[in-house]
A and B are shown apart, each in its own frame.
Chain A
Amino acid sequence: MNTENNNLPEDKQLSSLYKQAKQDMPPAHIDDAILAASKRKTSRYSLPYAPFSNNWRIPASLAAVLVLSFGVVTLMEDELSPVDGIMPLAIEDTELVQTPEQSKQAQGANKLAKAPMKARAKRSPPQAAMISESADVEQEQLSFQNKEIKRKEQLVRKKQQASQRARSDILEQPSFAAAMPLRSPSTNIGSITTGTDEQAMLPYWQYQDTGMSIRLVQRLPDQTRGYFVARGFSSEHAELIAQSCVFQTVFKNISDKTQPSAITYHMKNWVVRHNGKIGEMKTREKWATQWQALNVPTPAQLAFEWSLLPTTQDYQPGDYNWGMAIFNLAPADSFTLKLTWQQHGEQRSVTIPDMQCAADIDADPEAP
Chain B
Amino acid sequence: MNYFLKSGIGLVLFAYAAFLFADKTVFPPVANPFTAYNFNIQDIDGTQYRLSDYRGKVVVLNFWATWCPPCREEMPSMNRAHKKLANDNVVILAINVGEDEDTIFEFTGNYPVDFPLLMDRDGTVIKRYPVMGLPTTYIISPTGMVTHRTVGGRAWDDDVLLNELRRMQKE
Contact = CB atoms under 8 A, between A and B. Distances in A.
A177 interface: no
Contacts of A83: 152
Main SS at interface, chain B: loop
Contacts of A331: none
Contact of B155 (A87, A227, A315): A87
Interface stretch (B40-48, B50-58, B95-103): B95-103
B85 interface: no
B3 interface: no
Contacts of B171: none
Given A309-B133, A312-B132, A88 B69 contact: no
B73 A129 contact: yes
Contacts of B153: 88-89, 91
A309 B116 CA distance: 27
Given A89-B73, A256-B25, A316 B65 contact: no
A316 B123 contact: no
Interface residue tally on B, bucketed by range: 35 or more
A306 B70 contact: no
A70 B16 contact: yes
Nearest to A55: B1
Interface of A: 55, 58-59, 62-63, 66, 69-70, 73, 83, 85-89, 91, 129-130, 132-133, 136, 227, 231, 252, 256-257, 260, 298-299, 302-303, 305-307, 309-313, 315-323
A124 to B, nearest CB: 13
Interface stretch (B5-13, B86-94, B139-147): B5-13
A362 B77 CA distance: 43
A368 B15 CA distance: 70
Nearest to B30: A316
Contacts of A302: 97-98, 122-123
14 contacts: A55-B1, A85-B23, A85-B24, A86-B25, A86-B150, A86-B154, A89-B153, A129-B69, A133-B67, A299-B122, A303-B67, A310-B132, A319-B150, A320-B151
A306 B9 contact: no
10 interchain residue pairs of minimum CB distance: A302-B98, A316-B28, A320-B152, A310-B132, A319-B151, A321-B133, A87-B158, A89-B153, A310-B133, A87-B155
Nearest to A59: B5
B12 A66 contact: yes
A89 to B, nearest CB: 4
Interface centre among B9, B19, B152, B154 (most CB of A within 10 A): B152
A83 B154 CA distance: 9
